[in-house]
Amino acid sequence: MANIGSRTRSVAFVISSHGFGHASRASAVIEAMRDRDPSLVVELFTRVPRWYFSQSIGNFNYHRTDCDLGLVQTDSLNADVGATVIELSKRLPLDPEEVKALATTFQTLKCRLVISDIAPLGLAAAKVAGIPSVLVENFTWDWIYAGLAQRAPSLRYYSEWLEPLFTHVDLRIQTTPVCVPVSHAQTTPPVARRQRQDRATTRGKLGLERGRKLVFVSMGGTPQDFPFRQRLGSNFSKVDFVIAGIGTSVQTHGNVTFLPAQSTIYHPDLIHAADIVIGKVGYSTIAEVFEAGVPFGYIVREDYPEMAPLVTFLHDQVTGLGFEAAEYVGGQWLDRLPQLLAMERLDRQDVGSGATECASLISALF
């Protein structure tokens, strides 16, 4: 754990490790809070790797903490609901000693605020520590589990156990697109990390030729096979493809570049550099695509509660096309790629920053 200066203004972020989307949103909020107070001390509690935050937020103290399960994923498009029930049975109800230990850590670090991106352990520990709590969400696990209870009835118990934790917080911020609006919550625009480099600089780092279309494929923080890579070279030789989360090093094969999850090229810069983004329907990709105004070919996972509200937002606010998960895995989405490549970007200059609004709301608490 790094040692960072004065602790006169210290906040704890407890972040779900379910993919990278929650960490992305938290990073954007931290960036905006640091705009208001550059000396702010940030204590991160999560299992998301340290390197992920190092890309975004500069100095922070990192505490590797198993603070949230979410869902057990078999790959980026599928969850194992049965395995999720088994894992939840080991975690819920929360262990009072574990909650107390985290509460004591908050107090020892002199944290003045606990901000949770849907990690219930952080909210429970904040209450025990007597520290104000903030929930940042566009859905919560109690709602997700209730929606999946038809497939696994045991999930209803965990939904009912978690619901009070998510309800009784000092400040609840819902970030657009919101799955279930709550009357007492504050709502912000989408929360996305900022672009750092212009399109030309990012494309130059990738060694791409000027004037060629760029398709960026990103399926989130869970590894995913890419079985149709040969078609990209044979059918679309005049288009460049950059595919994130494949392998452990950068590899280029003709017009296709594979980037590891831990890449030196910043993910939001890749989205802004692209002419088209292909990815699953998930919060961080939606928010960053929305901010960039880039057309989006989005993969819809059936039978997940959050799909309907997120897809409705995409229909209304983002240029693009939707694909079923089977169309992505089978490569049929490539048949509609020319249609996507013909779409224009949207100008987002007048759209407000959700991260800035989050920082403003949070600042009123401490």
> pLDDT (tens digit, 9 = 90+) per residue, 56-70?
898 999 999 999 999
β-strands 41-46, 61-64: how paired?
Answer: parallel
- The Cα 133–Cα 171 span in angstroms is 7
Taking each helix axis from N to C end, the angle separating 21-36 and 283-292, rounded to the nearest 10 degrees, works out to 50
Do 10-189+354-363 and 199-341 agree at the fold level? yes
Q: Is the pTM of this model over 0.75?
A: yes
pLDDT digits (tens, 9 = 90+) for 275-330: 999 998 999 999 999 999 999 999 998 788 999 999 999 999 999 999 998 888 88
Which residues share a beta bridge with 324?
A: 300
Q: 10-189+354-363: which CATH number, 3.40.50.1820, 3.40.640.10, 3.40.50.2000, 3.40.50.720?
A: 3.40.50.2000
Q: Are 143 and 180 in contact (CB under 8 A)?
A: yes
- The Cα 300–Cα 302 span in angstroms is 6
Here the tokens at position 350 are 């007048």
pLDDT of residue 4: 41
Domain locations in the chain as residue ranges: 10-189+354-363, 199-341
Averaged pLDDT score across all residues of the chain: 91
**199-341 has which fold?**
Rossmann fold (3.40.50)
125-137: average pLDDT: 98
pLDDT category of residue 230 using cuts at 50, 70 and 90? confident
Q: Quick one: what percent of the chain has pLDDT higher than 90?
A: 73
pLDDT category of residue 1 using cuts at 50, 70 and 90? very low
